[in-house]
Amino acid sequence: MTSRRWPRGVYDAGSEPDPRFTLANERTFLAWIRTSLALMAGGVAVEAVGQPGHGPVRTVLAVALLLAGVLCAGVAFFRWAAAERAMRLGLPLPGSVLLPLLGAVLVLAGLAAVLLVLL
């Protein structure tokens, strides 16, 4: 029987997992979306409240935070779908390249913010 739920590539695979796991996967997805919104808000705030004279560093920091937020939101969906599909097929949950990448972006953004404060 074909599911009417979208995305079909996820819901047509395997069998229905325990609802607790599906709901936990959805909560994780929403946490990534909240993180994405926070990153984008930080990027907007850095650009909006920045001091004059810090143009290039401020702009790079703002753009890095905005791009990290966009990337986080985009990857969150695919991460949710991969985890849901793995649970339905009884496979191990996939790893994520997002975690170390996001960590690296935040370290660089933090260093840029320190540079802005020191200037």
Q: Which of 48-62, 79-93, 100-114 has the lowest mean pLDDT?
A: 48-62
Inter-helix orientation angle 98-118/55-89, to 10°: 160
**Distance from C-alpha of 107 to C-alpha of 77, rounded to nearest angstrom:** 24
What is the helix, strand, coil percentage profile of the chain, to 5? 75, 0, 25
Q: Are 108 and 64 in contact (CB under 8 A)?
A: yes
Cβ-based burial of 50 (10 A; exposed 0-12, middle 13-18, buried ≥19): middle
Cis peptide before 17 (omega within 30 of 0): no
Rounded to the nearest 5 degrees, what angle is found at the Cα of 36, between the Cα atoms of 38 and 55? 65
Put residue 117 in one of left, alpha, beta given phi > 0 → left and psi -120 to 50 → alpha: alpha
What is this structure's pTM? 0.78
Q: Are 79 and 34 in contact (CB under 8 A)?
A: no
Question: What is the tens place of the pLDDT at every residue in 11-64?
Answer: 788 888 899 999 999 999 999 999 999 999 999 998 888 666 667 878 888 888
